[in-house]
Each structure stands twice: as C-alpha cells, then as structure tokens.
Amino acid sequence: MSHNHEEVEEMTDDYDMGEAGDETGDEYHEREGRESDSDDDEFSHSNSKVTDTSSAQARKGKDIQGIPWERLSISREKYRQTRLEQYKNYENIPDSGEASEKECKATQKGGVYYEFWQNTRSVKSTILHFQLRNLVWATSKHDVYLMSHFSVLHWSALTGQPKELVNVQGHVAPREKHPGSLAEGFSQTQVSTLAVRDNLLVAGGFQGELICKHLDREGVSFCCRTTYDDNAITNAVEIYNSSSGAVHFIASNNDCGVRDYDMERFQLSKHFRFQWPVNHTSLSPDGKLLIIVGDDPEGMVIDANSGKVVHKLHGHLDYSFASAWHPNGLTFATGNQDKTCRVWDIRNLSKSTDVLRGNIGAIRSVRFTSDGQFMAMAEPADFVHVFDVQSGYNKCQELDFFGEISGVSFSPDTEALFVGVWDRTYGSLLQYRRVHNFAYHDSLF
C-alpha cells in the first residue's frame, strides 16, 4: 500500500476529528482534497441535525441516511450521476488499464437479500488511511466493533448505545505481564486496521503497533511493535483458531512481512517475508493455505506452515487490498484497485473463474457469509454489492448510499450486515437484516 507519508497525512487531515462538523466530507475521490461544487456545498450544509432512520421510516419514503433531498436543488438521481462521473479511483499503477467488459461478468442486479433495517448516527465510523477499510466487525447481529476517531467502540443494536473500549489518543499500556509485551505501551496510536473474534480484539497501527484486548477482561492485555522499519504500517489483521484450538492472529505489514502470533503464549510463532508490502492475508478454513495480496498485481497462495509459494495469481492489473475464503475452502476472492474482485478456485489457479466489477472505485473489502450463500464486495465509497454465490455470482443486490466506506461485516449467524460510512454530516453505521423467503411456509396455510 502507499507509504508516502504526505499521502497518509493528507488523508488523516481530511478525516481529522477537530474538523468533523456540519460538512459532508464525502470526497469525490479517495486521495485528493474535496472538489468545490455549488450543488455539493448545498448538499453539505443542508442539514446540521440529521437524525437516525428506521426501516419503518424508510418504507414511508425517508432517505435511509436522512438526506433531505426535497429541500435541495439537486435530486438524488442527479447527485448519484455526478458521483459516478466525478469520483476518481486511486491507482498505484497509472494507466494500467481495466478489465475488459468481455472478461467481467454481466451480473443481474435487483436482488433483495438484505433489507435496510436501521441507520444510527450515534457512532461515526472513521478512516485514517484511504486504502485500508477493515475497521468494522460484527461478533453477533447485535454487537459491532469499530473505530471512531481515536476510540475503539462497541455498539449494541439492542440498546443503540456506543461504549468506548480503548482510547488510543493518549497512553495505552498493557495491564498484564507477558514475555515480549511492551510494558511502556504506546501513545497517540493511529489505528490503521482492526479485527475482533472470540473475545479478542486486535488493533494495528501506523508504526507497526499491535494492541490486543480481551473483551472479557479489563484493560489491554498485550502490546507489541512488529517492526521498527520506517515503512511499518499494519495493513490487516486476521484472528483464527489453530488446529489445537489456540487463538492466533496474522498481521500483514507494509515492511513486506506476515507475522503469526500465538495468543495463548503471547508469542510470535511465524514470520514470512516477501518481495513487496503485504496488504491483506486470509487463512483457508482448514488452516493449510494463506492468500497473500499486496503491492504487486500478482497475488499468491502459500503454504501456511512453511511459507512456500503454492501458486501465483495472475489477472489483476493493480495492487490488491482485500481477500476472503469461501467457507467451503475451495474458492476465494481478491479485491483490487483495478475496480474488480476476482473469484478463484483452488483446484485450478491458472485463471480466475469470475471477474466482478464495481461502479466507481477499488474493491477494498470482501466478505463471505458463514453459510457461504452470499459475498459482500465493498468499493471505497457509495456501493456495497452483495452477490448470490449459489447463482454463480450471476445475481446481486446493490446497496446504494453516499459516503466513504470504513468497513463491512456480516454477523456470524448471517442475519445482519453492517456498513460503516464516513461522512462529515451523514457518517453513521448502516444495518441491514437478512431477507428470508418463507413462500413455502405461506403456501401451507
């Protein structure tokens, strides 16, 4: 991923806590400052008191984000068209081209797999690095963890209230003593990525920081720095259970390293090094294979134990920032700045099986439901695509809203889908509920 400090600081300034106020903050592009536009200005300042939106209100015609289109001189349709035309996708390899229309799957839109349920503005999910969008995690259909400026928050769908778990603006130090843990902790950590699973929360920082907290214990459990390299941003974290049942996590870093930590012993257990910065990794369900994607158009599948390359992945045209395994362990997906998500079959990795294209920008996050029926593909802003996997990715639902996407997460039981939206006025947490087809049951009455 981009490690130019000016670019990182530029995005940090764009999302600075002190500047968050009545402006929209919905950038027309990922990296550069916001463009001036009269319609956009009216949109930005139209309503400084935006309320939450329920599914009942949405059914009566209220905009799900509370945007008062009826009071604006621009319609939603016109503003959407403007965004589609003016949003500039960030590329690390200029003029690398795009996947051809012939190669990309012609997907049938219009599916309804998840319906809008609630939009809450009591939490504003924020972003610090424009290329890293894994900052929202659901551990149940009621529990969501996310970053809001310097706060790691837990939000409950039952109470509708946020709770701060860790504040990284000040000093954070571990309460527990473990070998390798930095007793002095960290100060003013800039959190770049987040992961939550099995009562463990791991936050990664811009300087290689790793902050580990057990959700059932007070304070922080463990702090360490993966590297003191100048190029040390923690790009992604994945928590998993080893074959013995021990909790581990894998950290992908901009110093070209992938590190595996054993959280039973609080020790580094593996360290693989590659030729380019690693932006994301995903471990196969059986724990044997690891997807590696990063600052190279080619990704890799490696042996999770030895680090040996099993197969290279050819097809993407730019850098990749997302990957995910289907629960069957046979297929997986990768998301790239070439605006595509490619689906691969481990039984034949000579080429991808499907190429799925977004609307305006890079595919920065990919998630499968635990039952494998759906896959969510998130762009940097405005769109999350939910594909029906069982249809062979031929059918999809398009979630359409306005704002930068900080992360997407299905609940483990597949009943809920959460989308973090960063926008200076309309920033919020969108919640969708799974739609079940009960036509068979209805026919019995």
Task: Identify the pLDDT of residue 384.
Answer: 98
> How do strand 428-434 and strand 374-378 relate by DSSP bridges?
unpaired
Task: Identify the pLDDT of residue 179.
Answer: 80
Look at the pTM and tell me if it is higher than 0.85. Answer: yes
> How do strand 395-410 and strand 108-109 relate by DSSP bridges?
parallel
Report helix, strand or coil for 20. Answer: coil
Angstrom distance (rounded) from CA 389 to CA 376 = 10
How far apart, in Å, are the Cα atoms of 261 and each of 156, 182, 268, 293, 357?
29, 15, 4, 19, 35
The most confident of the ranges 35-39, 94-98, 230-234, 321-325 is 321-325
Question: pLDDT digit string (tens) for 294-353?
Answer: 999 999 999 999 999 999 999 999 999 999 999 999 999 999 999 999 999 999 999 999
Angstrom distance (rounded) from CA 363 to CA 352 = 16
Task: Identify the pLDDT of residue 4.
Answer: 52
Residue 54's CB is within 10 A of a number of other CB atoms, namely 16
Residue 137: burial class (beta carbons within 10 Å; 0-12, 13-18, 19+): buried
Q: At what angle do helices 38-45 and 76-86 cross, to 10 degrees?
A: 120
% of the chain with per-residue pLDDT over 90: 76
Whether residue 349 contacts residue 313, with contact meaning beta carbons closer than 8 Å, is answered with yes
Report helix, strand or coil for 303. Answer: strand
Task: Identify the pLDDT of residue 5.
Answer: 44
Q: What is the mean pLDDT of residues 10-24?
A: 35
Residue 38's CB is within 10 A of a number of other CB atoms, namely 9
Q: Is residue 20 over pLDDT 60?
A: no
% of the chain with per-residue pLDDT over 70: 86
Question: pLDDT digit string (tens) for 40-83?
Answer: 444 444 445 668 999 999 999 999 999 999 999 999 999 999 99
Task: Identify the pLDDT of residue 437.
Answer: 81
Q: Is residue 204 over pLDDT 80?
A: yes
Whether residue 113 contacts residue 396, with contact meaning beta carbons closer than 8 Å, is answered with no
Task: Identify the pLDDT of residue 198.
Answer: 87
